[in-house]
Amino acid sequence: MNFGDKEFNDLLKTTDANFNWGVSSSALQTEGSYNSEGKGLSIWDVFSKQKKKINNGHHPYVATDFYNNYKTDIDLIAELKIPNFRTSISWPRIFPAGNGKINQEGVDFYNRMFDYCLAKNITPWITLYHWDLPYKLEQNGGWKNREIVNHFIDYVAMCADLFGDRIKNWMVLNEPIVFTGAGYFLGVHAPGKKGLKNFLPALHHAAICQAQGIRVLKSQLKNSNVGTTFSFSHIESYSQKEKDIKAALKADALVNKLFIEPLLGQGYPFKEIPFLQSIENYMIAGDEKLLHEVPDFVGVQNYTKEVVKHSFFTPYLNAKIIPATKRKVPTTTMQWEIFPESIYRILKKVADYKLVKSIVVTENGASFADEIVNGKINDHQRIHFLKNYLSMCLKAKSEGVPLDGYFVWSATDNFEWAEGYYPKFGLIHVDFETQKRIIKESGFWYKNLITQSAKNKHEIL
């Protein structure tokens, strides 16, 4: 669906003074300085050294050099009038071994960066785990080892103690279905493990950690706003055949229900995914209660939809995704289908959970092949994408969905995991050889949108 300017502006008026406009990024994807000033290695630092794991042999060792360029990037965010900046804390920069001795130089960096954000009237929103597990912990089993729960609790408690005087908005985990599924089942992300024997304990311990992290933050920081983020994809059946419909329901449960439903007290979706019953091998008495802790907000991250059909040869799920390229639909350079209605349907679905009182879109954006012409980047495709997806968000809000914010992924172009530096998601272009920044036209568009939203609020008042 395409939205005209009048319709879009009418939807924009649904935002009020408490609506949070922002941009997102993460430590591993931007900071660089991977082995300097006391930082320990992360699983991605080690994984990136393995042959053919990352596109074009890329690695995150320098990335956008945010560790040294944070003032430049925060100044650009301020120039674009973006009031909220979501990023993450690098666990191995705080605890090089994952636990034990603190790295004071890492603490000092985050103190400087958070203070600079606040000096520029930018509110930091902080993710505690955005996939960069300390490698020392992985050597002892990582997310498969139940000891990770205690290590994570200690890490969260320390971050709350160190930074809670300035940070109000927290996200515990980023997209747990992705870092457990891609990292411990498919092996395409760090640490590169495969199979159900790795996936099931990893997902269970991550599910406990997301609830425990919320508990710790809310107990230590009384006025905090604590959530966690989920990767959601709208799932459709390839046909109306019963087998395809069942396959789509299984995929939907795996992608969209596996972590949020235990958190909300509904337990794992065993009915839709029978093979999950084996997770009981890793559960101990009291785990059902540990999994349940209602967040202050749910972070929704959506980019696309998936079409699923039955597959006899796919183990466990008997379902497979039909790629967008085979369906000949419009895509981004990630080969993800452009389907704005996906985020509308996801927001409506999440809002149907009775315990969800607030939703923030903590990531939404698109990768396109940006081109510099006369020193400018006219990324009209990205503007079109953001306008239509945001319109769908605001449509959902106008229909009663408790949507309280929208964050674009991402602030700058950055290291995009196994895809390396090829995908360009940023509102700000980065030349990774020179570290030169250029604000894209989408950045100026977003600035104007935020300005218009503030004007609308002023006119209403």
Give the per-residue pLDDT at 46.
98
Give the per-residue pLDDT at 1.
57
Q: What is the CATH number of the domain that holds 315?
A: 3.20.20.80
Instruction: List the catalytic residue out of 31, 138, 306, 363.
Output: 363
Burial of 326 (0-12, 13-18, 19+ CB in 10 A): exposed
DSSP state of 40: P
C-alpha atoms less than 13 angstroms from C-alpha of 437 in its C-beta half-sphere:
23
pTM: 0.97
Instruction: List the catalytic residue out of 31, 138, 175, 306.
Output: 175
- CA–CA gap between residue 198 and residue 205 (Å, rounded): 11
Supply 230's token pair: 């989920």
What residues of the chain score a pLDDT lower than 50? 460-461
Contact 309, 247 (CB under 8 A): yes
Supply 245's token pair: 């419909």
Which letter, b or e, does each residue of 39-69 get, where b requires 16 or more Cβ atoms within 10 Å of its Cβ?
bbbbbbbbbbeeeebbeeebbbbbbbbbbeb
* CA torsion through residues 430, 436, 437, 438, sign: negative
The CA-CA-CA angle for residues 372, 374, 379, to 5°, reads 40
363 has catalytic annotation: yes
Supply 14's token pair: 């649904």
Please report the beta strands in 311-380, taking only residues with DSSP state E, as ranges in sequence order. Answer: 319-321, 359-363, 372-373, 376-377
For the chain, the average pLDDT equals 96
Burial of 376 (0-12, 13-18, 19+ CB in 10 A): middle
Contact 166, 111 (CB under 8 A): no
Q: Which amino acid does the sequence have at 314?
A: T
Supply 451's token pair: 């300005």
Give the per-residue pLDDT at 460.
39
Give the per-residue pLDDT at 10.
85
Range of the domain at 369: 5-460
Q: Which amino acid does the sequence have at 338?
A: I
Contact 151, 98 (CB under 8 A): yes
| Cβ within 8 Å of residue 258, ≥6 positions away | 177, 203, 268, 269, 273, 276
């935002």: which residue's tokens?
A: 15
What pLDDT digit, counting tens, does each position of 114-126 carry?
999 999 999 999 9
Contact 203, 57 (CB under 8 A): no
Neighbours of 392 (CB within 10 A): 24
The rounded percent of the chain whose pLDDT value lies above 70 is 98
Number of domains in the chain: 1
- CA–CA gap between residue 176 and residue 229 (Å, rounded): 8
236 has catalytic annotation: no
Instruction: Tell me the pairing of strands 319-321 and 305-310.
Output: antiparallel
Give the per-residue pLDDT at 152.
98
Contact 376, 425 (CB under 8 A): no
φ, ψ at 271 (rounded to 5°): -60, -45
